[in-house]
Structure 1
Amino acid sequence: MERIGYNSGSGALDAVFGALADPTRRRILSRLASGEASVAELSAPFDMSQPAISKHLKVLERAGLVERAIDRTRRPARLKAEPMADAVQWLEEFRRFWAGSFDQLDGLLEELKQSGVRGNDDG
């Protein structure tokens, strides 16, 4: 029997989940989904400094979720969503497991219902 999630063996997957674990980084990715942005633009909705946003961007870059270009004096960041596909695939294994478990439970409950098994009615 194959154990779910044991054959990934990927440091890249760990980096993606590590990057996604932080709510600020998830909000940055959500913002970048609508288009590229500079550090100044990304820091505007947050109560944190531009250097702090830059640190978050470096984590996202190491995970492969963001790439940064040099456009004259600014370095706009843009979303690279491809690495999330591995994370989605890994999570999908668990979704299939839980769906199968619920199907089995539904089958068992239906069998019990058909056989007339009931709980203890002694009050």
Structure 2
Amino acid sequence: MVMDSRQLDLVFGALSDATRRGILAQLLEGDANVAQLSRPYDMSQPAITKHLKVLEAAGLVQRWKIGRETHVRARSDAAEQAAAWITQYTMFWKQHFDAVDEILAEKRSRKDDP
């Protein structure tokens, strides 16, 4: 499935912030609550919650409540779709750069021929 432009903007916007990338890195080790996620940062739990809302809107995390605690889990589908988009464009540009390299190599070989 190809990610729509709006969702792609949300993912890249979410990933543009170092704190949000750090939160995702923490979640690679497993689910966590907001208190656990806020420990490495010099910011309040409400500030971390704002970052989590951005990550959730992008589809990068899932939040749920157990009692008074909010728990968070990383989700991979949005990141996988963004990675697929990047891969598609990487292949496109690599093919074009390879074609340019071939043209330049051909010109160099003609220039070297007497």
TM-score for the superposition, normalised by structure 2: 0.85
Identity of aligned residues (%): 46
Q: What is residue 88 of structure 1 aligned with on the other side?
A: 83
Structure 1 unaligned regions, length at least 5 = 1-6, 118-123
Q: What is residue 100 of structure 1 aligned with on the other side?
A: 95
Q: What is residue 56 of structure 1 aligned with on the other side?
A: 51
**In structure 2, how many angstroms separate the alpha carbons of the residues matched to 1:69 and 1:62?**
14
Contact in 1 for aligned 2:3/2:82 (Cα 8 Å): no
Deviation at 1:105, TM superposition (A): 2.1
**Equivalence map 1:4-23=2 (5 Å):** 9-23=4-18
Secondary structure of 1:83's counterpart equals helix
CA RMSD of aligned residues (A): 1.8
Secondary structure of 2:35's counterpart equals helix
TM-score for the superposition, normalised by structure 1: 0.79
Pairs aligned (count): 111
Q: What is residue 36 of structure 1 aligned with on the other side?
A: 31
Deviates more, 1:58-67 or 1:9-18: 9-18
Task: Encode CA deviations 1:73-122: one digit per residue, 9 max, x unaligned.
Answer: 322111011111221122122101221122112202221221135xxxxx
The one-letter amino acid of 1:19's match is A
Task: Encode CA deviations 1:37-71: one digit per residue, 9 max, x unaligned.
Answer: 11111111112111110100011111111111223
More helix by share: 2
The one-letter amino acid of 1:24's match is T
Structure 2 unaligned regions, length at least 5 = none
The one-letter amino acid of 1:88's match is A
Structure showing greater radius of gyration is 1
Deviates more, 1:21-30 or 1:9-18: 9-18
More strand by share: 2
